[in-house]
Structure 1
Amino acid sequence: MGMNTAAALQTYLRSWNTAGCLHGVAAVSLADGERVAVAGGMADPGLGVANEKDTVFRIGSLSKSFTAAALLQQVAQGRLELSDSLERFFPDFPNAAGISLHQLLNHSAGTANFTSAAEYWPTRMRLAHRPQELLDWAHALPPACPPGIAHAYSNTGYLLLAAIVERVADQDFASYRQQYLFRPLGLERTYVDDGRVILPQAARGLHPGAPWRYAEPMDMSVAWGVYDLASSAGDLCRWLEALQRGEALPARLAALMLDVGALEYAYGFYGEDWTLAGRRQRLAQHFGDVNGFFAFMSVLPGGGGVVALTNAFGSPVERLGRDLARIASGETLEALPPPGRQQPDEQLFVPGRYENGEGAWLELFYNEHGCYARSPRRYDLPIAYPLTVTAQTPQLARAAVLPETLLIEEGTLQWCDAEGVTRRLRRQ
């Protein structure tokens, strides 16, 4: 099975690359130890540097699994209990007496999410912060809800966990992760990214458009302990393997991260239901994003995992990860077709804004380079991407950046997006 599965994964990933839809690196670690990885797109188009299999990407909130593991290492050493109150470390923090480490780990503590604060995007993310300044800012924000009553995803919770590890271990959190996680596990291409250290073979975050541009700048010190890591697809495959094999933590504690069961969020991982080879299974996985980068990782049933890293905002890393998991589970998926060689006919694909009356919209426009579609993605930020057609099906356009299609039928635009959701839009 290993060789056949590996070949199927290679073929599928290469079709994404040929179609122009792979902007980063996707990798699969199979249960038998075999790995498959394919790279595509540009790490830095300004310098003409292409992505390679060991290119380093910012991984956003995938960093949280490392913070959770660092905290659990302190539990393993008897320095902490999961029932410990936040009051032990930050007695003045809102609701501290009612918040446990367990609740911080699974996002049920009700702490405010500092990245949702109104000042985060326009100012805070561009400014240098010391960890204590981040903690002071988070302290001043009103709680999202009382502790223990609801799941409320909060970057503040993991900021507090990082600070607690630093205090208990009596070591700065950056060097702690290097000494007790990266080096022992052989993660040679995983780094704490403060935005000042030069990382080898690091990609730059990009925003697809007409033309493409670099992503909005941010000061990575604002991400301390929460979404501040950069890594390679190979290292993250190794990380998933280490967690599953009990190399990073004792098995009973690693299970608190990976055995998601009916949980919405365990420790450092979401629980998501996927149907693989006809069986519905709940898997530990996480999505991460930080300006211009999307990242995704998931364990596989029976061992191993999938990782998809991109430096192009809007790339469907979750869709790609799910497809790879399906193939690894024995399913057969059709390869993506290559892009067409012709430009859409402006008489068919009439420029303008198309809507479905339910909030979805897509704009068609033309410039000196051809026909483009513009549509919103995460955080409602729009991206633009070129369209091509073939002579055989001039009414069916394919996106040259995303696995999406646009079909014109009797004046209606049928848009099948990268997640496979189809909408019918009318020109306004």
Structure 2
Amino acid sequence: MRTSNASRTVAKLNDYMDALANRGYFNGAVLVAEGNKILLRKGYGMANFEHDVPNTPQTKFRIGSLTKGFTAMAVLQLQEQGKLRIDDPIQIYIPDYPNGDIITIHHLLTNTSGIPDYPSFPNYWKETMRLYATIEQTIGSFKDKPLQFPPGEGFSYTSSSYILLGFIIEKTSGISYERYISEHICKPLNLVNTGCEDGRTLLKQFASGYSICKGIIPTEYVDMCLHVGAGVMYSTIDDLYLWDRALYRDDLIGKHVRDQLFGSMTSPVGSYGWVVTEQSINNKPRKRVWHNGTMNGFYVEFNRYTDEEIAIIVLSNINLTPIDIISQCLAKIVMGEDVAQPGAIQPLDTAPNTLEKYAGIYSTAEGNIDSLQADQLTEALDQLTIINTPRFAVGLFYDTFYRFGIDPRSTVVVTLEDNRLYLFMQKNKGAWFKYELIPVSQQTNTLNCVTAHIEEQLEFHTDPDGYLRLIHFDPAGNRIDAVKLTAEIN
């Protein structure tokens, strides 16, 4: 990249991220680099809102499933050392594991084992994630569950497989997973701000995680010991950039073994701990090696465009943040494609009582609930409106949906509180968020809104039959159409 072009790119990257941060759409840290040249390296917003501690490039974030790339590297190192083979059945290392004679390490690495994903179990959010567990106990929570498909005959993303890999790393190396990652990956690469979180060790400059329920709230507690091998790690944008550069070299494993990490774009299941796809940017196909990660209050994504040696690292400690869209926009800017910045918000003055008609339960699939009377709809909406933060955080609002026979998967709720509208809906990874709708313009039978905390648009309008509908657009341009439920259309 020529100096003049580089300067323009740096300015555009800064302008884009500053616009997001200034409008409250991003809170975290970002690093963008091309080869050995860092184009953007900056923290935004707060690492801790309670104590007004800002995010910086040195802030540590939970990185969730980015841990899987480190786990895969450790497995390939152990293969290179002759301590295991990728094609080994796991019964060699876990003799009593059901179907361990037909499930291989390769199946675990590629999410083709058929083992169900333990964080998706019904009691995970309310109970399991909050309790300390050894790696053996975590394995015990899913080992007797039936396989989703015969090993090697399907694909289903599952963190359970990487828990098993964490155990195999400990079994074959003779040391703990945490110690192995530290001694064989972090120390050789000088990743001084990367490691495994146990919740019982003081970590300086460590961000707190947050969610959204009307405003920013602390996330729910999770005992990180539950996620060894799958999501237990923390890092910084600086350390992840060092990790990126190391993946082009043979510092940790030889090239012939390293190539196994990234598989091939011709197979969706060929890579180990990473996803390899093709993405069109500026009218050109680009090889994209990437993974994202979530962990209570954190949402992160690491994109590597390996042909151009471009790294896009986006770490956020607010889990509503659309880091996938932000990452893609940053990549487009680096590769010369124009990206629109979020516009200024000019709230519309609304008189009291003019917003009442928009509050309600909206269905994306008409006829998805049993017949409800008007008073039942009112009661359901009232209960969803008065949800306090603790009940929201542990998912107790589901009781209201189920009590009235409402399918939450095809439901959007709009509440009115203190003359403010709030959108209550499912977002990334199936999590529910409640965030403000800000009216910005109004015409006959139409009200246009934008949202707080995330760059979205929503339109209310009355259709020719007199029913109130909403149209919701997320940052990716995905559209949701829903109709307000009334006693007449249930």
Q: Is TM more than 0.5 here?
A: yes
Query: Who is 1:37 aligned against?
Result: 41
2:54 matches 1:50: yes
Q: Where in structure 2 are the equivalents of 1:245-324 lying within 5 Å? A: 245-265=249-269, 266-300=271-305, 301-324=307-330
Pair 1:133-2:155 in alignment: no
What amino acid sits opposite 2:17 in the alignment? Answer: L
Shift of 1:408: 3.9
**Are 1:235 and 2:292 matched, yes or no?**
no
Please give the secondary structure, in 2, of the residue aligned with 1:235.
helix
* Of 34, 57, 67, the match for 1:63: 67
Higher RCO (C-alpha under 8 Å, 6+ residues apart) = 1
**What code does the residue aligned with 1:79 have?**
K
> C-alpha displacement at 1:168, in angstroms?
1.9
Label 1:77 to 1:59 Cα distance change in 2 as closer, same or farther (>3 A): same
Q: Distance in 1 between matches of 2:141 and 2:479?
A: 42
Among candidates 319, 322, 325, match of residue 331 of structure 2: 325
What's the Cα RMSD here?
Answer: 2.4
Partners of 1:154 and 1:341 in 2: how far apart?
43
- CA distance in structure 1 between the partners assigned to 2:36 and 2:186 by the alignment: 23
Q: Which amino acid aligns with 2:448?
A: L
Q: Secondary structure at the match of 1:210?
A: strand
Aligned length, in residue pairs: 428
* Aligned AA (2:324): E
Residue 404 of structure 1 is aligned with which of 430, 433, 456? 456
Deviation of the 1:149 alpha carbon: 0.9
Structure 2 contact 440–450 (Cα < 8 Å) conserved? no
The sequence identity of aligned pairs, in percent, is: 25
Q: What TM-score do the two structures reach when normalised by structure 1?
A: 0.92
| Equivalent pair of 2:290/2:304 in contact (CA under 8 Å) | yes
In structure 2, what residue type is equivalent to 1:333? V
Instruction: Give the deviation of 1:72 after TM superposition.
Output: 0.8
String of CA shifts for 1:242-282, please: whole Å, max 9, x gaps.
Answer: 11233333222222223441222410012334221112344
Is 2:343 aligned against 1:355? no
The CA deviation at 1:341 is 4.7
Q: Deviations over 1:161-190 (max 9, x none)?
A: 112222222221111111111121121221
For the 8 Å contact 2:263–2:272, the answer to whether it is kept is no
> In structure 2, do the counterparts of structure 1 residues 388 and 120 end up closer, same or farther at CA, with 3 Å as the change threshold?
closer
Mean Cα displacement is larger for which, 36-45 or 326-335? 36-45
Gaps of 5+ in 2: 367-408, 463-467, 486-490
The one-letter code matched in structure 1 to 2:51 is: L
Q: Which amino acid aligns with 1:354?
A: Y
Shift of 1:379: 4.4
SS at 1:415's partner residue? Answer: strand
Aligned to 2:475: 418
The answer to whether the 8 A contact 2:442-2:448 is kept is no
Q: Is the 8 A contact 2:215 2:435 kept in 1?
A: no
User: 2:42 and 2:23 mapped to 1: Cα distance?
Assistant: 13
TM-score, structure 2 normalization? 0.81
Instruction: State the Cα distance separating 1:333 from its structure 2 match.
Output: 0.5
In structure 2, what is the Cα distance between the partners aligned to 1:78 and 1:280? 38
Specify which of 196, 202, 222 is matched with residue 200 of structure 2. 196
Per the TM alignment, residue 117 of structure 1 is displaced from its structure 2 partner at its CA by: 3.0
- Secondary structure of 2:142 counterpart: helix
Query: Does structure 2 retain, via aligned residues, the 8 Å contact 1:62–1:286?
Result: yes
Structure 2 residue aligned with 1:171? 175
- Greater C-alpha Rg: 2
2:426 aligned residue:
376
